[in-house]
Amino acid sequence: MASSSCAVSRNPNIGKTSSRAERVPEVFRAHLSKLLLNHSRGISVEKFAAYFKHSSKERIKFELYGYTSLTEMLEDLRDVCEVQKTSQRTMLFAVDDALKLRNRYRLDKRVQPTTKPEPDALQKFVTTLGELIVLRKNGDLYAPTCSLAQLAGFTKDTVLQSLEEDGIRVKGVHYLTVGDPHHEELRLKIAVWCPLACSENEQIVEKIALVPLKSCNFIVAALSPDIPQDNAVRKLRIISSFKMTRN
């Protein structure tokens, strides 16, 4: 019997990854995994590419990892997604291993203290200059410098270096460092929200700097003295009075 024109073609090697696939950045895999887990009915390759370009302001550079097309790369990420082709379009679906990928960034509950501190939380707030990421850590509010760099129109996070060149040293700076299991989930989420948290090779930078939220209006004004600060500074200042909800 002839096959139907809308027959579905499934990838027979789901769960197996190639050496090429291992070169695809972990932050991209986690971003794809999170998106697919929120789309139980799947998402087309075209829509995923458009979503990525809208959120990161650039296209997916599949050729950097040795692929000739985006679909070829996605077919190779078998631990994250399943590719199904019909005569009309190519769809992406989450696989069970995608849950494992996401859980890699969860804190191990077995090493949590008996008296648990208030969990860290991330939120985004809209200012007249764009979205600002705010982190509640140990009861205090901070902003990643990569988010401030984005507000100031920078293409790289050189906030602290730029301030130091002007003789300004910010007090109370903290860092989310690579290799610290307590920082991994926060680092991943910041990288998904802010592309400046990644280096040119699309890996999350080794240290994501956090500055006290109360310093943000001054920092943005110092970095971009030419932009209108009236409403922006006021909104950044108001954020410190917001009560952040848990994720």
Strand order through the sheet with 81-85? 9-10, 81-85, 90-94, 43-44
List, for residues 19-39, the tens digit of each pLDDT value: 677 788 877 888 788 778 777
Dihedral angle, C-alpha 133, 198, 192, 209, nearest 10 °:
-30
Q: Where are the domains of the chain?
A: 9-103, 120-239
Fold entry, domain 120-239:
Mlu1-box Binding Protein; DNA-binding Domain (3.10.260)
Mean pLDDT, residues 37-43 taken together: 78
Q: Is pLDDT at 145 greater than 90 in this prediction? A: yes
Considering only the top CATH level, what class is 9-103? alpha beta
> CA 106 to CA 185: how far, in whole Å?
6
Position 225 scores a pLDDT of 64
List, for residues 10-19, the tens digit of each pLDDT value: 444 444 456 6
pTM above 0.85, yes or no: no
Q: Give kind and range of the element (H or E) at residue 92.
A: strand 90-94
> CA 172 to CA 210: how far, in whole Å?
8
